[in-house]
Structure 1
Amino acid sequence: MKHFLYLLFGCLLTAIGVTILGQSQIVTGGTAGLALSTSYIFNLPFYLLFFVINIPFYVFSVLRMGWKFTLSTVLSISMLSTMTYFSYVLPELSLTPVFGGVIGSVFIGFGLSTLFINGSSLGGANILALYLQRKFNWDSGKVNFVFDFVVVLSGFYFIGFMNGLYSIMSIAVYSVIISYFKTQIKERNQYKEEKKQLVLKTS
C-alpha cells in the first residue's frame, strides 16, 4: 500500500508538471514529449498517445528489468494518463514560457525521482536510463537528458524556435533534479537486485 501511494504521489507531481508545460506550449522529453508533440500536430488527446507510444518499450522492460518493474511502470503510465485526462478541470494558467517551463519541470523532476526511487518509471527513455544505471552505473539524469534533448530537437519545427529553447531548459531542470537523487535511485535498485539474487540462490 505504501509503495502504491508513492507511485500515486510521483504520478500526481508529474501530471501537474506535464499540464503546466502543455499550457505553456512547451514539450518535454521521452515518450511524454513525443506524445505532447504529436498531440499538437494531430490534435489528439495526450493521455491516449502517451499510453500507445509506450507499448513497444514494455517488451524491453520485461526482458531487461523484469515483470515487477514492468507492471509497476504500466501502473504508473496508466495513472499518469488518467490524471492528465482529467487535467481539463484545472484552471488555465497564464504563465510565461520561461516561468511555466521551470515550474512544470520542477514538478516533473521530483515526480520522476519519486518513481525511480520506488522501482518504477514512465516508460521510454526512463526504462533505458534505469537499466544503464543498474548495468554500467551511468547517471540516470544525464542519460535522460541526452534522449530528451533529441526528442525536443525533433519538435522544434512544430513548437517554434523560442519554445524549443524553453523546452531544452525544461529538460535540463528536471534532469538536474533526477541527478541530485541518483544515489538514492542507485541504492534502491541495488537493493532490489541483491534481494532478487538472494531469492534465486535460496530457491
Structure 2
Amino acid sequence: MIRILNILLGCMLVSSGLIMLGHAEVATGGTAGLSLTLSYLVDIPFAWLFFLINIPFYVFSVMRMGWNFTLFTLLSVSLVTAMSSVDRLLPDFAVNMYAGTLIGSLLCGLGLSTLFMNKASLGGSNILALFLQQRYKANPGTVNFIIDSCIVALGFYSAGIIQGILSIASVFIVSSVISYFKKRISVGSQRTVRTGPRVASQAGANG
C-alpha cells in the first residue's frame, strides 16, 4: 500500500512539473518529447507515436526487469497521462520561463526519483537507465541526461534559442536530482534485473 501511495505521489509531482514546463514553453525529454518532435515531422498523431515508441521498451522491461516492474511502469504512465490532462480544465495562465524551468524541472526530478525508488518508471529511457544502473552501476541521472539531451537537441529547431537553452537546462536539473538520489534509487530497485531465465532474487524484486 505504501508503494502505491508513493507511486501516486511521484506521478503527481511529474504531472505538476510537466504542466509547469508546458506553460513555460520549455521542451521535455524522454519518449514523450521524442514522440512530440516526430509528430511535427511525420503525419502520425502524437498518441500513436508515443504508444509505438514505447513498445520495444516494454518488451525489454518484461524480459530484463520482470512483470511486476513493467506493470507498475504501465500504471505510472497511465496516471501521468491522466493527471497531466487536468491542465485542459485549468484556466489559461502564463509562467515565467525561467521560474517555470526551475520549478517544473525540480518537480519532475523529484517525481521520477520517487518512482525509481519504488520500482516503477515512466517507460522509455527510464527503463534503460535503471537497467544500466543495476547491471553496470551506471549513474541513472547521467544516462537520463545523455538520452534526453539528444532528444531535446533533435527538436531544437522548433524552439527559439532561449527556449532551447532552457530545455537543455531542464534536462540537466532533472538529471541532477535523479543523480542526487542514485543510492536510494539503487536500494529501492535492487535485484530487479534478470540475469537469465531466473530473477536475481525472489524477495519482491521483480518490480
Q: TM-score range by the shorter chain?
A: 0.7 to 0.9
The separation in 1 between residues aligned to 2:70 and 2:123, in whole angstroms, is 9
Identify, as 1 or 2, the structure richer in helix: 1
**2:83 partner SS:** helix
Instruction: Measure how far apart 1:90 and its partner are.
Output: 2.6
The separation in 2 between residues aligned to 1:29 and 1:112, in whole angstroms, is 13
TM-score for the superposition, normalised by structure 1: 0.87
Match of 1:199 among 188, 193, 202: 202
- Number of residue pairs matched by the alignment: 199
The separation in 1 between residues aligned to 2:46 and 2:88, in whole angstroms, is 12
The separation in 1 between residues aligned to 2:117 and 2:89, in whole angstroms, is 30
The separation in 2 between residues aligned to 1:30 and 1:198, in whole angstroms, is 29
The separation in 1 between residues aligned to 2:41 and 2:94, in whole angstroms, is 22
CA offsets 1:68-103 (integer angstroms, 9 cap, x no match):
111110010011111122221234332222211111
Aligned residues: CA RMSD: 2.5
Contact in 1 for aligned 2:110/2:178 (Cα 8 Å):
yes
> Given the superposition, is the C-alpha separation of residues 77 and 52 from structure 1 closer, same or farther in structure 2, using an over 3 Å criterion?
farther
The separation in 2 between residues aligned to 1:71 and 1:83, in whole angstroms, is 18
Which stretch has the larger CA shift, 44-53 or 28-37? 44-53
> Given the superposition, is the C-alpha separation of residues 57 and 199 from structure 1 closer, same or farther in structure 2, using an over 3 Å criterion?
closer
Tell me what 1:4 maps to. 4
Contact in 2 for aligned 1:47/1:82 (Cα 8 Å):
no
Tell me what 1:110 maps to. 110
**1:27 partner SS:** coil
The separation in 2 between residues aligned to 1:21 and 1:154, in whole angstroms, is 18
**1:199 partner SS:** coil
Contact in 2 for aligned 1:22/1:36 (Cα 8 Å):
no
> Which ranges of structure 1 fall in alignment gaps of 5 or more residues?
none
Contact in 2 for aligned 1:39/1:45 (Cα 8 Å):
yes
Tell me what 2:180 maps to. 180
TM-score for the superposition, normalised by structure 2: 0.86
The separation in 2 between residues aligned to 1:90 and 1:47, in whole angstroms, is 22
> Which ranges of structure 2 fall in alignment gaps of 5 or more residues?
194-198
Instruction: Measure how far apart 1:160 and its partner are.
Output: 2.3
The separation in 1 between residues aligned to 2:182 and 2:7, in whole angstroms, is 18
> Given the superposition, is the C-alpha separation of residues 121 and 105 from structure 1 closer, same or farther in structure 2, using an over 3 Å criterion?
same
Instruction: Give the partner amino acid of 1:199.
Output: Q
The separation in 1 between residues aligned to 2:191 and 2:55, in whole angstroms, is 28
Tell me what 2:196 maps to. none
The separation in 2 between residues aligned to 1:87 and 1:159, in whole angstroms, is 22
**1:138 partner SS:** coil
Instruction: Measure how far apart 1:40 and its partner are.
Output: 6.5
The separation in 2 between residues aligned to 1:113 and 1:98, in whole angstroms, is 23
Instruction: Measure how far apart 1:33 and its partner are.
Output: 1.7
Contact in 1 for aligned 2:10/2:111 (Cα 8 Å):
yes
The separation in 1 between residues aligned to 2:48 and 2:23, in whole angstroms, is 18
Which stretch has the larger CA shift, 47-56 or 60-69? 47-56
The separation in 2 between residues aligned to 1:130 and 1:44, in whole angstroms, is 30
Contact in 2 for aligned 1:36/1:46 (Cα 8 Å):
yes
